[in-house]
Amino acid sequence: MKSKQKVLILFGTQTGNSEDVADRIGRYITRMNGKAQVVNLNDYPVTSLVNESIVIFVCSTTGNGEFPDNMKSFWKFMLRKSLPSNSLSHLKFCVFGLGDSSYDKFNVVAKKLNKRFLQLGALELIPLTLGDDQHELGYDAALDPWLLKLKDLLKNICFLSDSYIPDNVPLPPRYTVKFFEYSSTTTNVNSDIYNRNKLFPLATLKKNQRVTPDDHFQSVHILEFKIESDVHYEPGDVAVVWPENPIEEVEDFLALLNVPLDTIFTLVPTDADVPLPKIDTYPCTVRQCATSYFDIMSIPRRSFFEIFQHFSQDELEKEKLEEFTTAAGQEELYDYCNRPRRNILEVLKDFPNTTPHVPFEYFFDMIPSIRTRSFSIASSLRAHPQELHLLVAVVQYKTRLRKPRQGLCSNWLTTLKSGSSIPFSIKKGSIALLKDQFPIILVGPGTGVAPFRSFIEERALNGIGDNYLFFGCRNKAKDFFFSETWQELCKKNMLRIFTAFSRDQEDKIYVQHRITENGPLMWDLIQNRKATIYIAGNAKQMPQGVKDAFLEIIKKEGCLTQEEGLKYLQSLENAKRYQMETWA
Q: What is the DSSP string of 301-341?
A: -HHHHHHHGGG--SHHHHHHHHHHTSSTTHHHHIIIIITTT
Cis peptide before 439 (omega within 30 of 0): no
The mean pLDDT value for 190-202 works out to 86
Binding-site residue set: 13-18, 60-63, 98-107, 133, 341, 373-376, 407-410, 447, 502-503, 508-512, 583
Binding-site residue set for FAD: 341, 373-376, 407-410, 583
The mean pLDDT value for 222-230 works out to 95
Euclidean distance between the first and final Cα of the chain, in Å?
A: 50
Binding-site residue set for NADP(+): 447, 502-503, 508-512
Which pLDDT value is given to residue 105?
A: 84
The rounded radius of gyration (Å) of the Cα atoms in the chain is 26
For residues 24 and 546, what is the distance between their CA atoms, to the nearest angstrom? 39
- Backbone CA torsion sign across 201, 205, 211, 216: positive
pLDDT surpassing 50 at residue 186 = no
Query: Contact at 8 Å (CB) between 411 and 395?
Result: yes
The amino acid at residue 523 is W
Which pLDDT value is given to residue 559?
A: 95
pLDDT digits (tens, 9 = 90+) for 496-508: 999 999 998 989 9
The mean pLDDT value for 534-543 works out to 89
For residues 168 and 319, what is the distance between their CA atoms, to the nearest angstrom? 12
Tell me the H-state helices in 270-311. Answer: 286-292, 302-308
Query: Contact at 8 Å (CB) between 192 and 415?
Result: no
pLDDT surpassing 90 at residue 529 = yes
pLDDT surpassing 80 at residue 164 = no
- The percent of residues above 70 in pLDDT, for the chain, comes to 96
Which pLDDT value is given to residue 1?
A: 37
Which pLDDT value is given to residue 71?
A: 92
For residues 143 and 18, what is the distance between their CA atoms, to the nearest angstrom? 12
pLDDT surpassing 60 at residue 374 = yes
Which pLDDT value is given to residue 203?
A: 97
The set of long-range contacts for 414-421, using a CB threshold of 8 Å and a minimum separation of 24, is 414/208, 414/210, 414/219, 414/221, 414/223, 416/205, 416/208, 416/223, 417/205, 417/208, 418/205, 418/206, 418/207, 418/208, 419/204, 419/205, 420/204, 420/205, 421/202, 421/203, 421/204, 421/205
Output the pTM of the full model: 0.90
Structure confidence at residue 188 as a pLDDT band (50, 70, 90): low
For residues 114 and 97, what is the distance between their CA atoms, to the nearest angstrom? 10
For residues 471 and 41, what is the distance between their CA atoms, to the nearest angstrom? 37
The mean pLDDT value for 259-288 works out to 92
Which pLDDT value is given to residue 159?
A: 61
Which pLDDT value is given to residue 373?
A: 93
pLDDT digits (tens, 9 = 90+) for 36-83: 899 999 889 999 999 999 999 999 988 778 888 889 899 999 999 999
Query: Contact at 8 Å (CB) between 173 and 270?
Result: yes
Which residues, including other chains, have CB under 8 Å from residue 352's CB and lie 6 or more apart?
A: none
Among the residue ranges 4-18, 22-36, 401-415, the one predicted with the least confidence is: 4-18
Binding-site residue set for FMN: 13-18, 60-63, 98-107, 133
Q: DSSP 3-state helix, strand, coil percentages of the chain (rounded to 5)?
A: 35, 20, 40
Among the residue ranges 130-144, 217-231, 306-320, the one predicted with the least confidence is: 130-144
Helix, strand or coil, per DSSP, at residue 8: strand
Which pLDDT value is given to residue 81?
A: 92
